Chains A and B, each alone.
Chain A
Amino acid sequence: MSMNTTNDNTLAPRTGRINVKMLMQLSLVALLLVVWTLLSFTTTTFATSGNITNLLRQTAIGGVLAIGQTFVIITAGIDLSVGSLVAVTGVSLALMVSHGVPLTLAIVLALLLGLAAGLINGFAIHKLGLPPFIATLAMLSVARGSALLLTGGQSISMPTSGFTAFSTTSVWGVPSLFLVLLVVAAAGWVLLHRSRWGRYVFAYGSNKEAARLSGVNIGGVVYFVYGFSALCAAIAGVLVVSRIGVGVPTAGTGYELDSIAASVIGGASLFGGAGGIFGTILGALLITTISNGANLLNVDPFWQQIITGLLIAVIVFLDQLRKRREA
């Protein structure tokens, strides 16, 4: 007698296209719309183009990080190093440019730096067998320490004004930063939901041994997700520097937690095997909306953290309820 099987006579619910994952995402969209509507009525400033633009810009950075984190969480792993990687890639970029490296080259090198850190994470996890929590926690410290070391604890200015101007531009009314998020999201979506490597990521997270015995390159999956997550962190690092015009060694502190929160709100399960890009974006939007709305309502910023924490707990709890009822 197995715990999770049904007998052949049971009329199992027809799942098909409209499935529970979609329901979850729809309810998130609904929640977002409700919150936005509420904020539009309770403040005079929320529904202004200036504020919406700001909201989208703020979401861009958290969103890019969350997309990378989603890949990792689907494998039942976690990447705690992304916040620190934002800092170390950012300061590296600023340092290179202020030493005369051409901007484009410096950006590419900063991205490669992030990628390398991700591959090191992957190595620690796959070859050395460290639990992802520990491996990426170590990288969190190493990367943060490196950023501080490289800069002597100081901020490094970005001399190129065109670069910082990028963060303030918009294309057809949409902030460029947000467009970067959309590009990363599109790439992430194609990789995760349409490519075979995305299938392998889900297989790994669902049952690593079954995946292995089905011929999936287990090591490849690990390097792929941690590399991608770190690359996203590097992209975010570049975006941060563009936004504030300086490479700050303490940038990104705590960003990893928000990226995890966004992924989980969006439907990713820490046990692996579930998650998606669209849901993650919604999660990131929700988190940014809370902080944006709280600012406008003059809510004590410390309350924002409490609200975000409670929100994560409630949403995931409701998701678990739904899963249990469906089982």
Chain B
Amino acid sequence: MLLELRQIDKKFPGTHALKAINLSVEQGSIHAIVGENGAGKSTLIKILTGVYTRDSGEILIEGQPAELKNPLQAQKLGIDAVHQEVVVCRSLSVAENLFLGIEHVRAGLVNQGQMDREAQAFLDDLGFQISAKTPLSQLSVGQQQLVVCAKAVLRGTRLLILDEPTAFLSTKEAEQLERLIRRLHAEGTTFVYISHRMEEIFNLSDNVTVLRDGAVVHSGPTRNVTREGLVSLMAGRDIEQFYYKEQVPRGKPMLNVAGLSGAGFGDVNFTVHEGEILGFFGLVGAGRSEIMMSIAGARTFEGQITKSGKRLNAENVKSALRDGVALIPEDRRSQSLCLSQSIKFNINLPTYDRDSRGGMVTESRERGTARTQRDSLKIKTPSLDMPVSKLSGGNQQKVVIGKWLNHGADLFMFDEPTTGVDIPTKLEIYRLFAELVKQSKAILLVSSYLPEVMAISDRLIVMRQGKVVAEVDPALTSAEEILHLALG
């Protein structure tokens, strides 16, 4: 037994985060941990990596009691974590990142040449096609994530904790990561793998532990449990489906895109109708986000975009908004929300011009608007004045949607809307999609999660390297076919 947690308890003001957790991770196993957001997974990881200290209970590593007072101690004991959001020094090169803190130093001077060579040999050995001298900022998110893993391996990590590592990766990058995991697994590394993706859990893990509300509700071999069983355990109630989809009759064409070209995409044509969900699938870099940004008026483009008969202009966000276009971007934190400002503020931001009189904001109206959206979207918060930074990922997403609903948009472009969101909230978001299309709105859904985009979309556009490769009916096409189209 590599790692044993006995009766680990942790309380925060107002919440009992971990309730006498018992967990055993076998040497050389891949141990999955599942649970909704708020179940205690991130607290558990932070205790394992020394970021938090436990209130009570014991941690045993190879049978020896261990004190994990800080991350450095945890690393010395061979425990390290790879997080959902990549933690690297963007302006440094791959080699510099890999050797950060353990540089080769001769007579006080850093021996960069040797480190570059060693780093390259290491990367090649792992099968990554990355040059050691590349600055991290030039790599894709997926490649950056691989570098983070490589860094942990370089430091001789025995227990590698992966926290939703594929959340921001394309299918191809996720496969690369999976290969790396399998290889390290074969070489004896133990993994704790946190994921919301059932496919990954059943594909990779030997054992699975389910956390719910801070307590372990199940722990055992993965082969002894089913998907439905796991989801039930996580939620504490039976969830019939993973996805929610209502068939809604298609209305007249709302958006027509012809010959659209810009940075990252070319010659794109498609139409979306009222009441329709048009999915966009492709690898990272296929150009989908760029297309959405262009429609939203945030980028230049050539070609024609017509909405309800009216031409949309390039590089004019305000006019796109006026024409009823709403973009919910990929990185909601950095692109969509003013995190330090309140929920009320964020919901009202696009409509201050419409709702103010003589430039003055009416506080009661501001509050009323926010209340309406909070109630209809069931945003969980004790106060509308709370800064959105304090909300969970799922509720942050709802604030973004609420702001656009209030604005009166009728074309909603969602770019990876359920990344980092737990299953019950995902379902709520799918239900919201259904509500929107029942009201004759149209949705463009960019998603790199194939099961999701296949289940939710009415039609699916597959893109590769900036070009539309195919338009398919997801009900009549297999996942393998679509993947083939996306990979080329």
Contacts and interface: CB of A to CB of B under 8 A. Distances in A.
B246 interface: no
Interface in A186-214: 190, 194-197, 199-200, 202-203, 206-207, 209-214
Contacts of A215: 317-318, 321, 350, 353
Contacts of A8: 37-38, 380, 392, 394-395
B359 A195 contact: yes
B317 A212 contact: yes
Given A206-B341, A216-B349, A6 B361 contact: no
Contact of B296 (A5, A194, A213): A213
A1 interface: yes
A206 to B, nearest CB: 4
B161 to A, nearest CB: 10
Q: Is the interface of A mostly helix, strand, loop or mixed?
A: loop
A195 B333 CA distance: 25
Contacts of B396: 5
Given A7-B37, A8-B392, A209 B345 contact: no
Given A1-B163, A2-B420, A213-B296, A195 B338 contact: no
Interface residues of B, number: 60
A12 B386 contact: yes
Interface stretch (B39-47, B94-102, B457-465, B474-482): B39-47
A49 interface: no
Contacts of B85: 1-3
Contact of B386 (A5, A11, A15, A212): A15
Interface residues of A, number: 40
Nearest to A207: B338
A5 B37 CA distance: 10
A12 B382 contact: yes
Contact of A203 (B45, B338, B394, B420): B338
B126 interface: no
A4 interface: yes
Contacts of B334: 207, 209-210
Interface string B344-357: 01001110110010
B390 to A, nearest CB: 6
B41 to A, nearest CB: 7
Contact of A2 (B14, B333, B338, B348): B333
Given A5-B396, A9-B15, A15 B298 contact: no
13 contacts: A1-B163, A1-B194, A2-B85, A2-B333, A7-B392, A11-B15, A12-B383, A13-B14, A190-B360, A196-B359, A199-B348, A203-B338, A210-B334
Interface of A: 1-16, 19, 190, 194-197, 199-200, 202-203, 206-207, 209-217, 273-274, 327
Given A2-B85, A273-B341, 11 more contacts: A6-B392, A7-B15, A10-B12, A11-B14, A13-B14, A15-B385, A197-B359, A206-B341, A207-B334, A210-B338, A211-B338
Interface of B: 12, 14-15, 17, 37-42, 45, 83-85, 163-164, 194, 213, 296, 298, 317-318, 321, 327, 329, 333-341, 345, 348-350, 352-353, 356, 359-361, 380-383, 385-386, 389-396, 403, 420
